[in-house]
Amino acid sequence: MTATDTQFAQHLSTQRVPAEERAAILADPGFGNFFTDHTAIVDFRTDEAGVGGWRDARLEPYGPIALDPAAAVLHYGQEIFEGMKAYRHADGSIWTFRADANAARLNRSAIRLALPQLPEELFLESLRQLVAADQDWIPSGDGESLYLRPFMIATEAFLGVRPAREVSYRVIASPAGNYFGGEVKPVDIWVSRNYARAGRGGTGAAKAGGNYASSLAAQLEAEAHGCKQVLFLDQFNDNAVEELGGMNVFFVYRDGSMVTPALSGTILEGVTRSSVIQLGRDRGAEVTERTITLDEWRTGVESGEITEVFACGTAAVITPIGRLRDGDEFIGAENAQPGEVTMAIRSQLLGIQTGAVEDTHGWLTRLV
Ligand code: COI
């Protein structure tokens, strides 16, 4: 196929999850537990002349991937992914949010991980194909959606360390409720002092599986200390706040202004992050991307200058942060309630995504 040939062969499942079972799943999907009936796939190969191209676009029944044990992804972690969601609107149409930003970020990640770039039309069509086939899997509760996980893996069987010449791009989908389970409530965060997420020149700005693998030891520490997520700092820059294990962070100040850590090459450029910056400005708030240190977080909360802190991401949507735990020290109040600005931005964002609030920025793309 050529780069712009977006015809997907249809190999539809003959063993879809029965409607009753699917309804039971959709009643309480949680996050990342269940998967729909199909997967969209496009493969990439490099020919003898060294020319690479995307080919064999297809929709297949969801199921295990047959990989050669020598596949590069299994040894050198050459993998990238995206996180997106599909929302059903009141008229039955299905939409996704800022797909162009995800397509662009996938390709920035591809460049960093020496994977081939995927044409945006192919990316969009893969989402359309999968969501059209599995549209009965979209849950309808507050804050619920169909989570889409596009990803790209190096499939070539070769143990030399060089970019793989065979790659597979796939999309899977998973009905999703609140990432942290249950109702939206403030989560406590653990400050990672033993581990860093990313360093200058590293892969921190890419959405690469390896970044998340390297966050897990810190995440285990967080859970052992009663916290839900881990905060990474730049210890070589005055303990500047970077991001959480899987989400960006925002601070709301007493005067209504908002701050989020500036993109420094080590922080993921979250699509929700950039949307929150815009929504904050739409509310008339001054929103600044700058360095904010752990000390400023501590003194700001203690003096009442910082009134709310929240996390954001596609999976997390907007989640209020309760206490920050740094060793035996706690910053913030126990049993904190979700902040007013946090919840107002959350409901504005969800409103746009679900069609209840006007999409003045043209962020939505119709899938079905
Ligand atoms: C997302 O928010 O979509 C993410 O990818 C973060 C995490 C679930 C890995």
Q: For residue 296, what are the domain limits?
A: 187-354
Same-domain pairing of 204 and 148: no
For the cut 90, the answer to whether the pLDDT of residue 5 exceeds it is no
In angstroms, the CA 91 to CA 97 distance is: 17
pTM: 0.97
Q: Specify whether 19 is located in the same domain as 157.
A: yes
Distance 312 CA to ligand 1 centre (A): 10
Q: Is residue 182 part of a domain?
A: no
Instruction: Look at residue 3 and tell me whether its pLDDT is greater than 50.
Output: no
In a domain, 365, yes or no: no
User: Which residue owns the Cα nearest ligand 1 atom 7?
Assistant: 246
Q: How far apart are CA 97 and CA 37, in angstroms?
A: 22
Domain end point (choices 176, 206, 234): 176
Give me the sign of the Cα torsion angle 213, 267, 192, 342. Answer: negative
- Which of 79-83, 140-144, 225-229, 309-313 bottoms out in mean pLDDT, i.e. has the lowest? 140-144
**What pLDDT shows up at residue 6?**
82
> Which residue is associated with the tokens 């597979």?
168
Q: What percent of the chain has pLDDT over 90?
A: 95
Determine the average pLDDT of the residues in 147-171.
98
- Cα(35)–Cα(175) distance, rounded to whole angstroms? 7
- 3-state SS, residue 288: strand
Q: Is 31 in the pocket of ligand 1 (CB under 6 A)?
A: no
Tens-digit pLDDT profile for residues 317-355 = 999 999 999 999 999 999 899 999 999 999 999 999 999
Same domain, residue pair 82 and 223: no
> Domain ends where: 176, 200, 220?
176
Q: Is the pLDDT of residue 113 over 50?
A: yes
The single-letter DSSP state of residue 155 is: -
pLDDT confidence of residue 1? 52
- DSSP-H helix ranges across the chain: 19-27, 72-76, 99-112, 120-133, 209-213, 216-224, 271-282, 294-303, 340-354
Which atom of ligand 1 approaches the CA of 207 most closely?
5
Contact present, 208 and 80 (Cβ < 8 Å): yes
* Same domain (yes/no): 214, 103: no
Q: Please tell me whether residue 234 adopts helix, strand or coil conformation.
A: strand
Ligand 1 lined by 143 (C-beta under 6 Å): no
CA of 46 to the centre of ligand 1 (A): 30
> Mean pLDDT score of the chain, rounded to an integer?
96
Report yes or no: 295 and 277 within 8 Å, Cβ to Cβ: no
What gap in Å lies between CA 69 and CA 46, rounded to an integer?
A: 20
Same domain, 152 and 213: no
Distance CA 155, CA 116 (A): 12
The closest alpha carbon to 123, from 140, 137, 143, 109, belongs to: 109
Strand partners, 317: 313
Q: Whose CA is nearest to atom 5 of ligand 1?
A: 83
Return the percentage of the chain with pLDDT > 70, whole number.
99
Do 198 and 165 lie in one domain? The reply is: no
- In the chain, the number of structural domains is 2
323 vs 44: CA distance, rounded Å: 46
Q: What is the arithmetic mean of pLDDT over 270-281?
A: 98
CA angle 41, 30, 93 (to 5 degrees): 60
Three-state SS letters, 54-108: EEEEEEEECCCCCCCCCEHHHHHCCEEECCEEEEECCCCCEEEECHHHHHHHHHH
Which two three-digit tokens encode residue 33?
């537990």
Q: Is the pLDDT of residue 162 over 50?
A: yes
Ligand 1 centre distance from Cα of residue 246 (Å): 5
Distance separating the N- and C-terminal Cα atoms of the chain: 24
Residue 33 has pLDDT above 80, yes or no: yes
Residue 350, SS3 per DSSP:
helix
- Please give the distance, rounded to the nearest whole angstrom, from the Cα atom of residue 303 to the centre of ligand 1: 33
Query: Which two tokens mark 198?
Result: 């990313």
Are 241 and 340 part of one and the same domain?
yes
Q: Per the structure block, which two tokens stand in for 276?
A: 């929150």
Q: Are residues 211 and 303 in the same domain?
A: yes
* Residue at which a domain ends, from 129, 150, 176: 176
